[in-house]
Chain A
Amino acid sequence: MPLPSLSQSSATLCFVLILLVPLAGAGLALVNSGLGRSRSAAHMMMASLCVIGVTAVVYVAIGFSWQGVAGRPAHTLMIAGRPWNCIGAERFFLRGFPLDLSAESLIVLLQIFSLGLAAVIPLSAGSDRWRLGAACASSALLAAFIYPLFAHWVWGGGWLAQLGVNCGLGRGFVDGGGASTVQAVGGLSALSITWILGSRQGKFSTEGIPAAIPGHNAVLALMGCLIAWVGWLALNSAGALLFAGAGPSSVVLIALNTTLSAIGSGLTAAVVTRVRFGRPDASLTVNGWMGGLVASSAAAAFLKPAAAILVGMVAGFLVLSSIDLLEAGLAIDDPGGAVSVHAVAGIWGLLAVSLLSNAGSSGQWLAQVAGISTLLGFVLPLTYALNWLLNRLYPQRVNEEGERQGMDLYELGAGAYPEFVVHSDEFTQR
């Protein structure tokens, strides 16, 4: 997909939308904090702020030079007589890059905010046991290598985007709002982090039976959903304008589809938990809502409203099933459901582009499958390997004393709620 030529008014609209994107990260940070324990609540917010900062600096310093922008300098490989764009060739620290109201400059700004959002996702999976310094170092790896490389392939005119032109697979890999580059990459980083850190003390019995460790503040989590909704409306709209060839007139459809998908998924989660448990479960409804936002990201510009509701409903079912499977079946301790919400729903959103939308033509599904395969066969092993190496050099998990005290007291020296009695281990198995 070549870079769009934006009129002054379109560029201004895009700029305003991009300024709202940080609300997605803010909402997600609140969700993560609310779904975590009270003794690590301030640590979660502090970590969110720090990783957003670290990723922005690292991305500007080196990450963007690998990612680049479609139509700008890049390294290509000739395979079977066709050129395949592999990696960007920009200069470090954005030197020589136009920073005006052009599409290129808007992409850089959007990328910095999107990357911040991707870096906040794994924090939820490492809740209560991931050291602040390690989270920042891991985010730096994400910003320096993993995100820019994959984003180049999808958004920077790379080989996944070229599958349409070079192989006749529809429009090539389509992802307007970052279901793969932001959400699935963040979700798979979360999976790597849970594997490397291991589960929280007392989460699983020796037979693998999970203990319920409920989130400490449903109000924070639900408020986070509402704030993230605004950020997602902006993210999906700006992404579709810059990466999916959508025109300014389509922002209404994109906003509507994003909203309908979130509602479809959130209500599905509420109804399913009402049927299963007798009452709707707030934390799973939060996960459902967020899963609907994630699932809408890839295809919001191409769906009809009824299809957007269907995408959301399927996302709701998938998120709930995945949370059950990961916790009860596979003993993966993911306190905020980051893997299910961001990786599973993101991958479903990518498939929905070919199954339910009018994007591309025959062969579009193969392009989407190629993108998903790249996430599972390249991004996940790379993320795991880099974090495993980091863990060897700088242990990422806090020690037993830190876990017992809580991350707030141990790493920050003060709790989020100093005037309240903080619950200790009453939820965990002894």
Chain B
Amino acid sequence: MKLTGFLLSAAGWAIVVAALLLLPSAAFRVAFVLAGIGVQVLGLVLATLAHRVLDLERG
């Protein structure tokens, strides 16, 4: 879950960068950037929850 979280976060960043560098239309750019940020947030939530579980198990 931890690795998935970090991968999602990196994938979201890739979407943001690709949107800014490749898309000519401003509306598409905004939509894809926001989608990328959403993916990143999901990834960070996953990574955080994975660490919470691990840390509490470690005591």
Chain A residues packing against B (C-beta within 8 Å): 79-80, 82, 84, 163, 167, 169, 195, 198-199, 204, 206, 208, 330-333, 363, 366, 369-370, 373-374, 376-378, 380-381, 384-385
- Bound Cα distance A332, B21 (Å): 36
> Which residue on A lies nearest to B45, using beta carbons?
A330
Q: Which residues 1-47 of B sit at the A interface, judged by CB distance below 8 A?
A: 6, 9-14, 16-17, 20-22, 26, 29-30, 33, 36-37, 40, 43-44
Residues of B within 8 A of A82 (CB): 21
Residues of A within 8 A of B55 (CB): 195, 198-199, 204, 331-333
Would you call A381 and B59 a contact (CB within 8 A)?
Answer: no
Given contacts A373-B37, A376-B9, A378-B10, contact A366 B52 (CB under 8 A): no
Q: Which of B13, B22, B36 has the most CB of A within 10 A?
A: B13
A184 CB to nearest B CB, Å: 14
Residues of A within 8 A of B44 (CB): 376, 380
B49 CB to nearest A CB, Å: 8
B12 CB to nearest A CB, Å: 5
Residues of A within 8 A of B54 (CB): 198
Would you call A330 and B13 a contact (CB within 8 A)?
Answer: no
B51 CB to nearest A CB, Å: 5
CB-contact partner of B16 in A79, A204, A208, A370, under 8 A: A370
CB-contact partner of A331 in B6, B22, B30, B56, under 8 A: B56
Residues of B within 8 A of A380 (CB): 6, 9, 44
Would you call A373 and B56 a contact (CB within 8 A)?
Answer: no
CB-contact partner of B51 in A169, A195, A370, A377, under 8 A: A195
Q: Which of B11, B14, B44, B56 has the most CB of A within 10 A?
A: B56
Closest 8 CB pairs of A and B: A377-B13, A373-B16, A381-B6, A195-B51, A331-B52, A377-B9, A373-B13, A377-B10
Residues of A within 8 A of B59 (CB): 204, 206
B17 CB to nearest A CB, Å: 7
CB-contact partner of A366 in B10, B29, B49, under 8 A: B29
A88 CB to nearest B CB, Å: 19
Residues of A within 8 A of B11 (CB): 377
A332 CB to nearest B CB, Å: 8
- Bound Cα distance A85, B27 (Å): 25
Q: Could you list 30 A-B pairs, sorted by A, with CB under 8 Å?
A: A163-B20, A167-B20, A195-B51, A195-B55, A198-B58, A204-B55, A204-B56, A204-B59, A206-B56, A331-B52, A331-B55, A332-B51, A332-B52, A333-B55, A366-B29, A366-B30, A369-B33, A369-B37, A370-B17, A370-B33, A373-B16, A373-B17, A373-B36, A374-B16, A374-B17, A376-B12, A377-B12, A378-B13, A380-B44, A381-B6
Would you call B10 and A370 a contact (CB within 8 A)?
Answer: no
Residues of B within 8 A of A378 (CB): 10, 13
- Bound Cα distance A281, B17 (Å): 42
Residues of A within 8 A of B37 (CB): 369, 373
- Bound Cα distance A333, B58 (Å): 13
Residues of B within 8 A of A204 (CB): 55-56, 59
